[in-house]
Amino acid sequence: MLKKIGLVPRLLLGIISGIIIGMFFPETVSRLLYTFTHIFGEFLNYIVPFVILAFIIPGIAELGNKAGRLLGSTVLIAYCSTVAAGTAAYLIGSRIVPAIVKSANVANPEEGGLEPFLTLEIPALLGVMTALVTAFVIGMGINHIRHNGDHQNLYGFMTEFRDIIVLVIENVIIPFLPFHIAGVFANMAYSGTAFETLNVFGKVFALIIAMHLGYLVILYTIAGSASGKNPFKSLKNMIPAYTTAIGTMSSAATIPVTLKSAKKNNITEKIADFVIPLCATVHLAGSTITLTTCAIAVVLIQGGTPTFASFFHFILMLGVTMVAAPGVPGGAVMAALGLLTSILGFGEGATALMIGLYLAQDSFGTATNVTGDGAIAIIVDAIGKKTGSIKEKVA
């Protein structure tokens, strides 16, 4: 029955239920719920390295030689766009978010009043950085083997491994997330600061959506300068893709509509046919804006200082870690969990809060991702026409 309800309503139900339990139910009930949150958090820490391996290895292996030299240009532009969006989000968020957090009495998610009945440690088999390096080495190796011989065994194994991890996300992590978030907010309600936390992140979400729209205007202005197209007309043509992504919460599921919308901007058909599907897996600027801004807020709530050095490191790695994040709600934040813990030092409560906050607006980040893909297609098309690469490599 719960599966028929959308993820966002379930998350909201989890938040409301957690607050009610933390405020009005006996402490034993709150501790029982928080015990589940603790154990589920340990499971998330265990699964993160597998998510990194499952996303990145097949993603790199599948890049191949889809469109000659234009492939490299597309991936580079998409990566630069993602990093630029995250950096801009840091520069803006680090100046505005502190004022929002300072004006409220917000609980540190790592310092709640509840204690779990049972503490359980589930050590990860690989460290986050070990998983990242391993993913790159194996992914590039498989890519080379696939396009220089007939060996497909390891590639087949990794794609099946990715399918298994996607099943875990879809059938274990996503369904139980509302209970996980409920435990976090039960802890906050028990401490008496849940409503202040929600008030803070309501304002942060408004800031995030404003940055999404600003980013799209800038990106389409750049695309218009490169191609001679009217940026606002091009952006208007992408509205169907934006609205569809809000409903699907998946870049992959929105590809048909994104393609149709992009082709309205007079992009060479075969350029659109390879750029849009590729960018659906490598261009996540909207998600990066959201993750960066929410992470700044959580760092401040914990009493820390969001430094440029740590966040720029986080953004650079985020642009790579999210490659080939599956087309399911929460794919980007699941891929980012390892970086949140290893680079920004997030603990169990902070990562749980990040998951809930990110998923609550995942549709808007996804909509920004796919709309931005249309601008990248315009830029790549302009590059191809100016260099002659389109006829030589694509036609």
Better-scored residue on pLDDT, 172 or 248: 172
Better-scored residue on pLDDT, 326 or 236: 236
Establish how many alpha carbons lie within 13 A of residue 117's alpha carbon, considering only the half-sphere containing its beta carbon. Answer: 10
Q: How do residues 260-308 score in pLDDT, each as one tens digit? A: 889 899 888 878 877 887 787 788 899 999 999 999 988 888 888 899 9
pLDDT of residue 394: 40
Tokens 């080939």 map to which residue?
324
Asked whether 62 and 170 are in contact (CB, 8 A), the reply is no
Q: Is 192 left (phi over 0), alpha (psi -120 to 50) or beta?
A: left
pLDDT of residue 67: 43
pLDDT of residue 210: 95
Query: Which of 301, 137, 293, 307 lies closest to 214, judged by CA?
Result: 293
Helix intervals (H) in the chain: 7-24, 27-61, 69-102, 128-146, 153-168, 174-191, 194-227, 231-237, 239-248, 255-263, 269-282, 285-301, 308-321, 331-342, 348-360, 362-387, 389
pLDDT of residue 392: 42
Q: How do residues 70-125 score in pLDDT, each as one tens digit? A: 677 888 899 999 999 999 999 999 999 998 887 555 556 555 567 888 888 888 88
Its pTM stands at 0.76
Helix intervals (H) in 169-268: 174-191, 194-227, 231-237, 239-248, 255-263
The set of residues, in sequence order, having a beta carbon less than 8 Å from that of 54 and lying 6+ positions away, is 158, 161, 162, 164, 165, 166
Question: Which amino acid is located at 274 in the chain?
Answer: F
Q: What is the Cα gyration radius of the chain?
A: 21
Q: What is the DSSP secondary-structure string of 189-205?
A: HHHT-HHHHHHHHHHHH
pLDDT of residue 391: 52
Asked whether 105 and 199 are in contact (CB, 8 A), the reply is no
Q: The tokens of 16 are what?
A: 């409301």
CATH number listed for the domain at residues 2-113+124-394: 1.10.3860
- Structure confidence at residue 395 as a pLDDT band (50, 70, 90): very low
Asked whether 372 and 81 are in contact (CB, 8 A), the reply is yes
Average pLDDT across the chain, whole number: 82
